[in-house]
Chains A and B, each alone.
Chain A
Amino acid sequence: MSWRNKLAGEVDDPMVAEALRNFKASVDAWSDAAYSRPRAGFTAARRTWRLAATLAMGCLLVAGSVTAAVVERHHQQELAHEAAIKAAAQKAALEPAPAAQPADSNVQVPNVRTDAAAQPAAASATNEDADLLATVDRDVSREVPAAMDPLAQLMNENGSN
């Protein structure tokens, strides 16, 4: 039985009947469209999965950032430590060594100034010391006879005899 025939006795006004028919068609169309859309359960599951993925990505990002920051900080600390060691070594090298007086009183060792500005002067003084020591060694070696000289003289004497 059609809708029109079924309700013909109840709705005598054709305009109301038409409106009711349109109303039913509208509700049917809306219901069909809403019923055939993806179920809320699936949508919720998809939303949950997306939320979990976003959270995981966020955690990964935060962990990566923190790790990078820690590594960078550690690297900076190592560099600072190395620089400090180097500076301390330089400082120790530039500090005046305990004054070792040479055995020879003729040798004059110039005083090394402790400040860093006097570094070229200290270097030139060291060179002078080295030259002086070389001169002393040469003089001393001249006074010592050559090792083969006595034997050579003996041979000469035997030959002449």
Chain B
Amino acid sequence: MPDSPLLDSRSIRHENECREPVNLRLMDTSTKSMAAGTAVKPLTVEAAEAIAAHDFAGIVESHRPQIFRFLLASLRDVDLAETLTQECFLKAHRNWKHFRGDSSAMTWLMRIAINLQKDHWRNRRLQFWRRTQANAVDVDEASEWLPNGERNAEQQILAREQVAQVWKAVGSLSGRQRTVFLLRYVEERELSEIAEATGLSEGTVKAHLSRALSRVRAELRGKR
């Protein structure tokens, strides 16, 4: 590997992720150059920073909707979810240099989002007026969103009721259980990724999931 600041630090990360076309092209070129036995011209600091900025822009573009969706499902508040999503990427941008690529960018971003959400709930407890609670959408309104698909009217109503019941069950979960549940059943993350993002062990994640599912099941059966 040549002594390039970019290839030294970034290529390792992109070997894990392999998502950014710029670096993939760069790696491809360097590999070919090495294979041909030619010397690779080291990148300047400015060029490396420009490519890193391009990398981050790609990360934002690809992961922003997922982070927003997770925060929206957690908070049921569109404005707050947007604000926290922006804060999440701002924080990620500030710490982008320190991201070593030990985990995927998505897991890293999700961890930041979870911490921001925790901070928000912690700060909210100190607020007397609880303005954010007033902005949150209620369960019935949240369950209005449902793609039509190929359902008839009756199936639509049934599905809406089910969604409302799941929202109610999610609302009764603890913060940690809710996070784990949403990461698993909305974001479809692997247990290992959830464990990494939340800082819990896989066993604890499974336990939280099991309790959350029991709550959902009880809610669905109770309303049957």
- Taking Cβ atoms with an 8 Å cutoff, the residues of A that contact B are 3, 6-7, 10-11, 13, 15-16, 18-20, 22-35, 37, 39-40
Question: Contact: A6 with B188, CB < 8 Å?
Answer: yes
Report how far A32 CA is from B68 CA in the complex, Å.
Answer: 9
Hey, which chain A residues are within 8 Å of B83, CB to CB? 40
B65 close to A35 (CB less than 8 A): yes
CA distance A16 to B216 in the complex (A): 8
Contact present for A22 and B69 (CB under 8 Å): no
- Minimum Cβ distance to chain A for residue B129 (Å): 21
- Does A34 contact B78, Cβ atoms closer than 8 Å? yes
Contact between A10 and B213 (Cβ–Cβ < 8 Å)? yes
B159 touching A15, Cβ below 8 Å: no
Q: What is the minimal beta-carbon distance from A33 to any residue of chain B, in angstroms?
A: 7
**In the bound complex, do residue A31 and residue B72 qualify as a contact, i.e. CB atoms below 8 Å apart?**
yes
Across the interface, do B81 and A34 meet the contact criterion of CB distance under 8 Å? yes
Given A23-B185, A29-B145, verify A18-B69 contact (CB < 8 Å).
no
Q: Do the beta carbons of A16 and B217 come within 8 Å of each other?
A: yes
Asked whether, in the complex, the Cβ of A26 is within 8 Å of the Cβ of B142, the reply is yes
Which chain A residues lie closer than 8 Å to B162 at the CB level? 18-19, 22-23
Which residue in B68, B73, B163, B209 is a CB contact (below 8 Å) of A22?
Answer: B163
Does more than half of chain A's interface fall in helix, strand or loop, or is it mixed?
Answer: helix
Does B198 touch A at the CB level, under 8 Å? no
Report yes or no: A25 in contact with B165, Cβ–Cβ below 8 A: no
Contact with A along B41-78 (1 / 0, CB 8 A): 00000000000000000000000010011001100001
Q: Given A16-B220, A19-B166, A34-B81 in contact, is the A29-B147 Cβ separation under 8 Å?
A: yes
Q: Is the CB of B186 within 8 A of A24?
A: yes
Selected from A16, A34, A39, the residue in CB contact (under 8 A) with B72 is A34
Question: B146 near A22 (CB under 8 angstroms)?
Answer: yes
Contact B81 A19, beta carbon cutoff 8 Å: no
**Given the complex of chains A and B, what is the CA–CA distance between A24 and B188 in angstroms?**
10
Contact A31:B185 (CB < 8 A) given known A16-B216, A16-B217, A26-B142: no
Residues of chain A within 8 A of B167, CB atoms compared: 23
Could you tell me the distance in whole angstroms from the C-beta of A161 to the nearest C-beta in chain B?
Answer: 138
Query: A13's closest neighbor in chain B, by CB?
Result: B217
Which residue of the partner chain B has the closest CB to A16? B217
Q: How far is the CA of A13 from the CA of B214 in the complex (A)?
A: 11
User: Are the C-beta atoms of B166 and A20 separated by less than 8 Å?
Assistant: yes
Determine whether the beta carbon of B79 is less than 8 Å from that of A40.
yes
Given A30-B142, A31-B69, residue A23 in contact with residue B147 (CB < 8 A): no
List residues 152-184 of chain B with CB under 8 A from any CB of chain A: 159, 162-163, 165-167, 184
Return chain B residues, CB-CB under 8 Å to A15. 220
What is the CA–CA distance of A37 and B186 in the complex, to the nearest angstrom?
21
Q: How far is the CB of B144 from chain A (nearest CB, A)?
A: 8
- Output the least CB separation between A43 and chain B (Å): 10
Check: B104 CB closer than 8 A to any chain A CB. Answer: no
Sample (16) of A-B pairs whose CB atoms are under 8 Å apart: A3-B188, A10-B209, A11-B213, A16-B216, A19-B162, A19-B216, A23-B185, A26-B142, A26-B145, A27-B69, A27-B72, A27-B145, A28-B186, A29-B145, A29-B146, A39-B82
